[in-house]
Amino acid sequence: MAVLDTDLDHIFPSSVLPPLWAKLVVGLVAIVCFARSYDGDFVFDDSEAIVNNKDLQAETPLGDLWHHDFWGSRLSSNTSHKSYRPLTVLTFRINYYLSGGFHPVGFHVVNILLHGGISVLMVDVFSVLFGGLQYTSKGRRLHLAPRASLLAALLFAVHPVHTECVAGVVGRADLLCALFFFLSFLGYCKAFRESNKEGTYSSTFWVLLSIFLGAVAMLCKEQGITVLGLNAVFDILVIGKFNVLEIVQKVLHKDKSLESLGMLRNGGLLFRMTLLTSGGAGMLYVRWRIMGTGPPAFTEVDNPASFADSMLVRAVNYNYYYSLNAWLLLCPWWLCFDWSMGCIPLIKSVSDWRVIALAALWFCLIGLICQALCSEDGHKRRILTLGLGFLVIPFLPASNLFFRVGFVVAERVLYLPSVGYCVLLTFGFGALSKHTKKKKLIAAVVLGILLINMLRCVVRSGQWRSEEQLFRSALSVCPLNAKVHYNIGKNLADKGNQTAAIRYYREAVRLNPKYVHAMNNLGNILKERNELQEAEELLSLAVRIQPDFAAAWMNLGIVQNSLKRFEAAEQSYRMAIKHRRKYPDCYYNLGRLTQAGRGPETTLQKYADLNRHVDALNAWRNATVLKPEHSLAWNNMIILLDNTGNLAQAEAVGREALELIPNDHSLMFSLANVLGKSQKYKESEALFLKAIKANPNAASYHGNLAVLYHRWGHLDLAKKHYEISLQLDPTASGTKENYGLLRRKLELMQKKDV
């Protein structure tokens, strides 16, 4: 067991390898690599999983976390992503509570510390993988393999492919899953201490604890369940000393003894396998029951190979995806936040040069498998088999073999498989060192890889600090990815650079003519720029491609309303509500259909002009029921009731709205107008003054307060606020007219006094 460690002596001399210091070095290096991301923003998927996820807020009962997916949707919904990670969401909620809101620093710091802690834990994991589980009579483990475990842990700590998991807050699912995955593995190893003279190595408690930790890992991310399979492989190969080559030779020579099987039975293997199998089956059953419906529905753009008609095309492309994942582990220089939407074109012919990658992958894998199964060196056989096990088994849920996944390549799913890569690479360095005299060259190569990977981690962490840097970094890696152009366009639009955003949205639609989200966003910008005809064409195309796209239906209605096609607009709004029942903004727009020739400040709704006041009020009431903080819907109800003479009802609605949104100055203003008309001057004045304090530069607030004072007889105060209003907005004709009337009245009063 100590052979590999001896081969690495020139890289890590024994004099500098105290176990505690080794772990401190690994933890510090892991933190330094990704420390640059600590003050980054919420980027990419963080917006949906954290900022827009109501499960993080105190108003949502904790029990709901167990019925919602990772994004806050009910698991029973057909639109749910089915990502069931309640423990990860719980940590986000704790972060939110401790940070006092959505402050990303706290979220990022936790991720960085988690990676540091996992990297420290990996020293013990690699020690078991390289050194085995042999104990002295006093229960102390032999062959700790300190050099090999330190090198492998450093390779793991500085691997750039981990950046997405560490620098992206949603990557915490992978980090927590890995933490409990490795704790489960180490717990399983605890079951094999020699406890009595007969040599019994099994401990039911530790096996059950390992299964429990595996379940916890699965509640952080689905990949966690694979630790049970890995524990089984470890038990068979390391504890049971199962030798495939020996078994095959006995079968070929028709040797009926097969003594190893008896040894396995005596070691309690069948009992432990029964526990692992039962635990895994129970976890899968509970998981399936919680899902409520079938697997999530992904689209062709998410995973085009899985939608190919030919099984051969699917198989070839799946294997090409595997080779790309292997390349990311070997050479993590080309990293991208998203690999879908044309980033990796399908292989449809054997003449495609990329088939070479498949051949290279399987050539290497078959060679490693042959060495792992057939080598006469038991130590080499175990290390290679465990390395391949860690490389392959955690990757199986992302392989498309058992079910369709919603991505082509995802760097985050390589966090666990990278352990196998580190095992194989460390073993390779040991083998090279053993068979070459240029040991200093090997040491220089190892040091170079560590330093280059550290540098790449620092650079990549900086790119994950903001969406602009992250999205632009993807252009050089995946220039054909429509989603990259879409996200850059969205980021530019959010910053107000509509011209540049249009260019990227158009490119996204060109690369993917069925990209309805890009059409929807482009249509919105064109609508704001009053390019209504093209906006209508794009939005109409989007709803033809995806008829249940509620947001596109609503935006189409807004454009049709601007084109004065009111009946078509109403139909589009109703289609949006049909496909999304809980759509408060659409209910608001349905009530707000603007009549031709009306400006936004004097808007009365088309419903109102068609004597459909009740329909308008119902639409806005639906909006406020679905979204109680919908200020615009509340305001429109107050204004419509005010304009139609229903002052008592307008007052009641205004008071109800202010109870729900007590600091909304626009609601204070609307209710103050109603109270003034009802001659409740004192209360009206208080609300006007409160609204002005919240928004002192609103000319209309001062103007309407002046009207109130004018009616009330406080003419000096009326004059003061008319003048303030006209200073803020000299073009307000109504205020000018009222101010003129007041001045004439004051002049007449002065003449009478004279």
In angstroms, rounded to a whole number, what is the distance separating the alpha carbons of residues 214 and 226?
Answer: 8
pLDDT at 565: 87
For 98-141, write each residue's pLDDT tens digit. Answer: 988 889 999 999 999 999 999 999 999 999 888 877 766 666 77
pLDDT at 542: 94
Confidence label for 245 from pLDDT (cuts 50, 70 and 90): low
Q: Which of 275-279, 339-343, 408-412, 413-417 bottoms out in mean pLDDT, i.e. has the lowest? A: 339-343
Tell me how many degrees the CA angle 734-737-738 measures, rounded to the nearest 5.
85
In angstroms, rounded to a whole number, what is the distance separating the alpha carbons of residues 479 and 481?
Answer: 6
Q: What interhelical angle do 647-660 and 665-677 show, nearest 10?
A: 160
Q: 520 or 144: which carries more pLDDT confidence?
A: 520
Confidence label for 378 from pLDDT (cuts 50, 70 and 90): confident
Q: What is the mean pLDDT of residues 530-541?
A: 93
From the number of C-beta atoms within 10 Å of its C-beta (0-12, 13-18, 19+), residue 740 rates as exposed
pLDDT at 252: 65
pLDDT at 159: 96
Confidence label for 256 from pLDDT (cuts 50, 70 and 90): low
Q: Which of 44-48, 388-392, 629-633 bottoms out in mean pLDDT, i.e. has the lowest? A: 629-633
Q: What is the mean pLDDT of residues 381-388?
A: 89
pLDDT at 196: 40
Q: How remote is the C-alpha of 351 from its chain's centroid? A: 37
Transcribe 302-330 into DSSP letters: T-GGGG-S-HHHHHHHHHHHHHHHHHHHH
pLDDT at 443: 85
From the number of C-beta atoms within 10 Å of its C-beta (0-12, 13-18, 19+), residue 754 rates as exposed
Whether the per-residue pLDDT at 522 is higher than 60: the answer is: yes
Beta bridge partners of 74: 68
Q: What interhelical angle do 204-220 and 172-189 show, nearest 10?
A: 170
pLDDT at 13: 62
For 740-749, write each residue's pLDDT tens digit. Answer: 888 888 778 7
pLDDT at 413: 93
pLDDT at 605: 46
Q: How many CB atoms lie within 10 A of CB 663?
A: 9
Whether the per-residue pLDDT at 608 is higher than 60: the answer is: no
Q: What is the mean pLDDT of residues 620-640?
A: 83
* C-alpha to C-alpha distances, 351 to 348, 354, 355, nearest whole angstrom: 9, 9, 8
Q: How many CB atoms lie within 10 A of CB 649?
A: 17
What is the DSSP-derived secondary structure letter of residue 376? Answer: S
Confidence label for 261 from pLDDT (cuts 50, 70 and 90): low
- Reduced to 3 states, what is the DSSP secondary structure of residue 679? coil
Confidence label for 34 from pLDDT (cuts 50, 70 and 90): very high
Q: How many CB atoms lie within 10 A of CB 262?
A: 10
Whether the per-residue pLDDT at 6 is higher than 80: the answer is: no
Whether the per-residue pLDDT at 2 is higher than 60: the answer is: no
Domain 610-695 is found in CATH 1.25.40.10:
yes
pLDDT at 290: 81
Tokens standing for 733? 């004709």
Highest mean pLDDT among 340-349, 406-415, 452-461: 452-461
Spatial CA neighbour of 630 closest among 652, 611, 653: 653
Q: How many alpha carbons lie under 13 Å from residue 111 in its C-beta half-sphere? A: 31
pLDDT at 302: 78
Q: What is the mean pLDDT of residues 340-356?
A: 87
Amino acid, res. 515? Y
Do 337 and 164 form a contact (C-beta atoms < 8 A)?
Answer: yes
Transcribe 529-547 into DSSP letters: TT-HHHHHHHHHHHHHHST
* C-alpha to C-alpha distances, 471 to 428, 462, 522, 622, nearest whole angstrom: 36, 12, 18, 38
Q: What is the mean pLDDT of residues 84-92?
A: 93
Do 222 and 81 form a contact (C-beta atoms < 8 A)?
Answer: no
pLDDT at 35: 94
pLDDT at 603: 37
Tokens standing for 121? 């834990």
Q: 264 or 106: which carries more pLDDT confidence?
A: 106
Q: Boundaries of CATH 1.25.40.10 in the chain?
A: 610-695
Q: What is the mean pLDDT of residues 612-627?
A: 76
Q: What is the mean pLDDT of residues 380-394?
A: 91
Confidence label for 174 from pLDDT (cuts 50, 70 and 90): very high
Spatial CA neighbour of 300 closest among 49, 545, 44: 545
Q: How many alpha carbons lie under 13 Å from residue 739 in its C-beta half-sphere? A: 19
pLDDT at 195: 45
pLDDT at 248: 66
In angstroms, rounded to a whole number, what is the distance separating the alpha carbons of residues 95 and 102?
Answer: 9
pLDDT at 90: 94
Whether the per-residue pLDDT at 249 is higher than 80: the answer is: no
What is the DSSP-derived secondary structure letter of residue 345? Answer: P
Write down the mean pLDDT value for the chain: 85
pLDDT at 241: 74
Q: What is the mean pLDDT of residues 156-181?
A: 95
- Reduced to 3 states, what is the DSSP secondary structure of residue 163? helix
Q: Which of 115-129, 173-187, 249-263, 355-369 bottoms out in mean pLDDT, i.e. has the lowest? A: 249-263
Amino acid, res. 581? R
pLDDT at 250: 66
Spatial CA neighbour of 485 closest among 496, 474, 494, 495: 474
Report yes or no on whether pTM surpasses 0.85: no
In angstroms, rounded to a whole number, what is the distance separating the alpha carbons of residues 287 and 363?
Answer: 37
In angstroms, rounded to a whole number, what is the distance separating the alpha carbons of residues 355 and 640?
Answer: 67
End-to-end CA gap in the chain: 115
Residues 6+ positions from 209 with CB-CB distance below 8 Å: 187
Q: What is the mean pLDDT of residues 229-234?
A: 91
In angstroms, rounded to a whole number, what is the distance separating the alpha carbons of residues 602 and 6?
Answer: 85
